[in-house]
Chains A and B, each alone.
Chain A
Amino acid sequence: MRNDRAPERAKEKAQRGYLKRDPEFCGFLAKELDMEKAPESYHKALREIYAELPRDMPVRHYPLRAAMKNLAVTAAVLVVLGLSLLGANQAYPQLTESLPGVGMLFKTLNGTEDAPNLPPVTNTLVVHKGGPKGLHKIPDFAPIQVEDENGLGKIQIQEAWCDGENVYLDVSLWVSEKLPEKAALAEDDLIEARFQESGEDAGELSLRYDGTSRYEGVWKLQVPESGQVGESVFLQLNLGHGYLYMADGSTVNLPLTMPFSLVVEVDKGNAVTLEGPGEDNEYTVESLRYTPGAVTALVTVPRLGYYGYSLLPGISYFGGAAESTPYGLYAVVSGEDGEALWEGALTAGEPQADGLSYQPAALSAVLPPADREKLTLSFYQFDPQDLRRWAKDAGLSQKDIVNPVTAAFTLDLAAGTLEPVEDSLHRVSRLEIFEMYPPFESSQQLYVRGLEPEWEAAGSSWALTELVIGNYTYTEHPAAWVLRGYKDGQVVQTATGCDLKELEHSVDWDYEGVPIHRDGSGELWLEDGSEYELNTFLHVYFQIQYPPGMQGPFDRLELVDTATGEVLIEDLEASYERNLRWVLTAGGYKR
């Protein structure tokens, strides 16, 4: 097994030069990364932020010391509480058995210990229902419609609500055929629309295409001097020049001019606040606040890994930021009819200094103002926006893709509860994500995790693939591989690999001691996977150089084992796409 060579490998690596911080290399790196010096503007920005920090720093809380201090008081209270609970247990055994922490004691006491597989217990939440009136119907608002001065579009404000601090407008936009760039508007590829509004406090409006001809979104505006706000707010706005940011990276201009004004009644105290944990699949909602225009929550999220550090394909090795994009930090807030009202990423808090498996995160969702009784708060493995983009690349329709749910809660505003959604949907666990990989492709139990058909290095073009071998043993996989590049039906390039067992011992220890096999037209090397793979998978990188004069990428790449003559993977790109589809349709999660 691969583990057998670990000590030897460690010893070899200890002697390698790549860990040396020699000043020459560090200097070269700093220069090429443009990090030798920071510009003066950076230092100025820091001086500004230092000046803005409050005079008094928050003082560290010492939980142990505080606990010691309170111990005597707690002990006294516990005695009294214990006596009271014993009395309560006589009368209400179900209540005392359900108490957190001491419930098991009472179960033992009463002889009613449960079987090991308990259904999840919903925690009771402390509910604060807004002000004196509690959660109530939002004030009436008469919708308004405004047309662009040049007839290039129109907007409608369906609903408006104000809590005295912010105004929330439910906005729809229609773009006219007269718009010069209308033809360039691939509506289903719209990522986001943004507008330059008049005034400093005009906030930000982001719109989404609704699949028909309408763009919709919520415009949140901060009320200036909110402390002095009266019974209503008067808004004078201008929906100005807009930009539509498309998925292909292009931008479409919306040269609109839509000045309008409106009055919104102030509705203070229309809020529900929940304090106390609601738990589902290791996600803990610590607190939550709802108003008819927003949901904010603090959530403790399990650290589920990163796109680049799992066995799942779909992330290009050279994909940049995507590699470090975390799993599980995405939420969708939906209404009772299942319609998504908001989707987006949570803002992750700082991990504990000792690298714990959980991290705090904040949800801040803006909702179209409305009266509601229930909401669903769902968390997902993938960023929904990423998933849609990958699905498009893979030629899948949106209805075919599955974003695995990692946790889901129902927020019952009338009852003031937050409970795990009771449905049959599988919740993807931390372990599952780390263990998940697509079906093996050949008798050698391998699959394509990454493919870069065209990339430049050292003045040449290459096609690079990352192949993962599962349940790897050297004896089972002598792996004398050949990578063949086809163009117009002919083999135009062949890269010969080597026996992986011999890779570290017999070949060219070039470049800082990384064992890399070269045959003149290809390169092969190994890389470690994530720590969660338990060393049972081997990541093999195999790249083939474009032959001189070849235009464009290879038509097909084929992997063959020359020892057996077996074609291991006939078409690497097709195989990679199959694996990508497998991920996007959550093939591995359907159990």
Chain B
Amino acid sequence: MGCWTVYKIEGQKKKGYGGEDIVKERLVRKAQNGDKEAFLSLMGEFEMPMYRTAKAILHREDDVEDAVQEAVCRAFYKIGEVRKPRSFGAWLMRVVINCCYDLLRDQRGIVPLELLPERACEEDRDAVLDIREALAALGENDRLILTLYYLNDLTVREVAKVLSISEGAVKQRLAHGRRRFREAYELREQERRAVSYEK
């Protein structure tokens, strides 16, 4: 069992339902009352969650940018429809997902094959490719569920609601996806150990 490396994640919120969430709720209410500055502050808070959600589906940076731009526009005009400001994050992720699927529908038949982005680090290329294959094999839904839950901090219930699936299904996908990740990770660790042993 290999140890996990700690990576810094940009824009991940702190645990719990504390002051930060209350501030966001206030921003939602202000934006609903026509405060554009509050809306822009909110968007600033959600820039990374929107990015990750779109990236889980679209992969290509320019598509991600197009989809999130569209989502911001839709959120601007539709934020008044959010009934529970506390659910704004989940609602916004659903908006982003819809924009992504609309984009994919528009692009039907012209989606390029290079779905996975290029990596800069050459030395880990083989190992990275193994993991990427594992990721590709996971399927888009599992990547999306993992992203929404682990990186965007949505609750299981919120993920279920956003994707219109049962909470049980979300939990199973989380377990399945995490297991696949772990397999890939351990494989890489084994290979690294084998390489260092040979050296």
A residues sitting closer than 8 Å to B (CB atoms) are 13, 16, 18-19, 21-39, 41-43, 45-46, 48-50, 53-61, 191-192, 194, 243, 245, 249, 303, 305-306, 308-309, 317-321, 323-325, 345, 347-355, 385, 455-459, 510-514, 516, 527-531
Contacting pair A29 B151 (CB below 8 A): yes
The interface bits of chain B over 113-146 (1 if a CB of A lies within 8 angstroms of the residue's CB, else 0) are: 1000101000000001011111101111101101
Measured between C-beta atoms, what is the minimum distance from A21 to chain B in Å?
Answer: 6
Give 25 CB contacts A-B under 8 Å.
A18-B174, A27-B6, A34-B119, A35-B52, A36-B10, A37-B10, A38-B47, A41-B62, A45-B66, A48-B69, A59-B32, A59-B33, A60-B32, A245-B109, A303-B164, A320-B139, A324-B141, A348-B102, A352-B83, A353-B82, A354-B87, A385-B108, A456-B137, A527-B176, A528-B169
Contacting pair A528 B172 (CB below 8 A): yes
Contacting pair B169 A529 (CB below 8 A): yes
Q: Using Cβ atoms and an 8 Å threshold, which residues of chain A touch B180?
A: 457
Q: Using Cβ atoms and an 8 Å threshold, which residues of chain A touch B163?
A: 324
Contacting pair B87 A345 (CB below 8 A): no
Contacting pair A46 B72 (CB below 8 A): yes
Measured CA separation A488–B174 after assembly (Å)? 38
Q: Using Cβ atoms and an 8 Å threshold, which residues of chain B touch A33?
A: 52, 55-56, 135, 143, 146-147, 151
Measured CA separation A562–B175 after assembly (Å)? 30
Report the tally of A-B residue pairs with Cβ distances under 8 A.
253
Given A36-B9, A38-B10, A318-B137: A191 in contact with B4 (beta carbons within 8 A): no
Tell me the B137-182 residues at the A interface (CB within 8 Å): 137-141, 143-144, 146-147, 149-151, 153, 156, 161, 163-169, 171-172, 174-176, 178-182
Contacting pair A530 B175 (CB below 8 A): no
Interface size class of B (residues with CB under 8 A): 35 or more
Measured between C-beta atoms, what is the minimum distance from A78 to chain B in Å?
Answer: 28
Given A32-B135, A57-B31: A345 in contact with B187 (beta carbons within 8 A): no
Say whether B198 faces chain A, with CB atoms less than 8 Å apart.
no
Given A35-B147, A249-B113, A514-B179: A59 in contact with B102 (beta carbons within 8 A): no
Contacting pair A42 B78 (CB below 8 A): no
Contacting pair A514 B176 (CB below 8 A): yes
Contacting pair B179 A27 (CB below 8 A): no
Measured CA separation A32–B188 after assembly (Å)? 12
Contacting pair A16 B56 (CB below 8 A): no
Contacting pair A38 B7 (CB below 8 A): no
B residues sitting closer than 8 Å to A (CB atoms) are 3-10, 12, 15, 31-36, 39-40, 43, 47-48, 51-52, 55-57, 61-62, 64-66, 68-69, 72-74, 76-84, 87-88, 90-91, 94-95, 98, 101-102, 104-105, 108-110, 113, 117, 119, 128, 130-135, 137-141, 143-144, 146-147, 149-151, 153, 156, 161, 163-169, 171-172, 174-176, 178-185, 187
- 8 Å CB contact of A457 from B36, B39, B68, B134: B134
Given A16-B175, A26-B150: A42 in contact with B51 (beta carbons within 8 A): yes
- 8 Å CB contact of A13 from B40, B165, B171: B171
Contacting pair A24 B6 (CB below 8 A): yes
Measured CA separation A364–B189 after assembly (Å)? 52
Measured CA separation A511–B184 after assembly (Å)? 12
Q: Using Cβ atoms and an 8 Å threshold, which residues of chain A touch B81?
A: 350, 352-353
Measured CA separation A243–B109 after assembly (Å)? 11
Measured between C-beta atoms, what is the minimum distance from A555 to chain B in Å?
Answer: 23
Contacting pair B165 A46 (CB below 8 A): no
Contacting pair A245 B141 (CB below 8 A): no
Contacting pair B105 A345 (CB below 8 A): yes
Contacting pair A350 B78 (CB below 8 A): yes
Q: Using Cβ atoms and an 8 Å threshold, which residues of chain A touch B6?
A: 23-24, 27
Q: 9 more A-B contacts (CB under 8 A) besides A34-B119, A35-B55?
A: A21-B149, A42-B61, A58-B76, A60-B33, A245-B110, A321-B57, A324-B101, A458-B187, A531-B165
Given A42-B65, A61-B80, A355-B164: A323 in contact with B139 (beta carbons within 8 A): yes
Given A58-B80, A350-B91: A28 in contact with B7 (beta carbons within 8 A): yes
Closest to B66 in A: A45
Contacting pair A27 B8 (CB below 8 A): yes
Given A38-B51, A350-B91, A459-B187: A56 in contact with B36 (beta carbons within 8 A): yes
Closest to B73 in A: A49
Measured between C-beta atoms, what is the minimum distance from B128 to chain A in Å?
Answer: 8
Contacting pair A34 B55 (CB below 8 A): yes
Measured CA separation A21–B141 after assembly (Å)? 19
Given A34-B55, A531-B169: A26 in contact with B84 (beta carbons within 8 A): no
Contacting pair A26 B12 (CB below 8 A): yes
Contacting pair B68 A42 (CB below 8 A): yes
Given A354-B83, A514-B175: A46 in contact with B110 (beta carbons within 8 A): no
Measured CA separation A243–B143 after assembly (Å)? 32
Measured between C-beta atoms, what is the minimum distance from A212 to chain B in Å?
Answer: 21
Given A353-B82, A353-B84: A41 in contact with B5 (beta carbons within 8 A): no
Closest to B75 in A: A350
Measured between C-beta atoms, what is the minimum distance from A433 to chain B in Å?
Answer: 13
Measured between C-beta atoms, what is the minimum distance from A246 to chain B in Å?
Answer: 8
Measured CA separation A32–B166 after assembly (Å)? 27
- 8 Å CB contact of A350 from B98, B132, B138: B98
Contacting pair B139 A317 (CB below 8 A): yes
Closest to A60 in B: B80
Measured between C-beta atoms, what is the minimum distance from A31 to chain B in Å?
Answer: 5
Contacting pair B141 A323 (CB below 8 A): yes
Contacting pair A58 B77 (CB below 8 A): yes
Q: Using Cβ atoms and an 8 Å threshold, which residues of chain A touch B175?
A: 16, 18, 511-514
Measured CA separation A16–B15 after assembly (Å)? 19
Contacting pair A57 B150 (CB below 8 A): no
Contacting pair B47 A43 (CB below 8 A): yes
Measured between C-beta atoms, what is the minimum distance from A57 to chain B in Å?
Answer: 5
Q: Using Cβ atoms and an 8 Å threshold, which residues of chain A touch B149?
A: 21
Q: Using Cβ atoms and an 8 Å threshold, which residues of chain A touch B78?
A: 350
Q: Using Cβ atoms and an 8 Å threshold, which residues of chain B touch A318?
A: 137-139
- 8 Å CB contact of A512 from B32, B94, B169, B179: B179
Q: Using Cβ atoms and an 8 Å threshold, which residues of chain B touch A16?
A: 175
Contacting pair B51 A50 (CB below 8 A): no
Contacting pair A30 B68 (CB below 8 A): no
Q: Using Cβ atoms and an 8 Å threshold, which residues of chain A touch B90?
A: 353
Measured CA separation A194–B64 after assembly (Å)? 22
Contacting pair B169 A49 (CB below 8 A): no
Q: Using Cβ atoms and an 8 Å threshold, which residues of chain B touch A321?
A: 57, 101, 104, 140
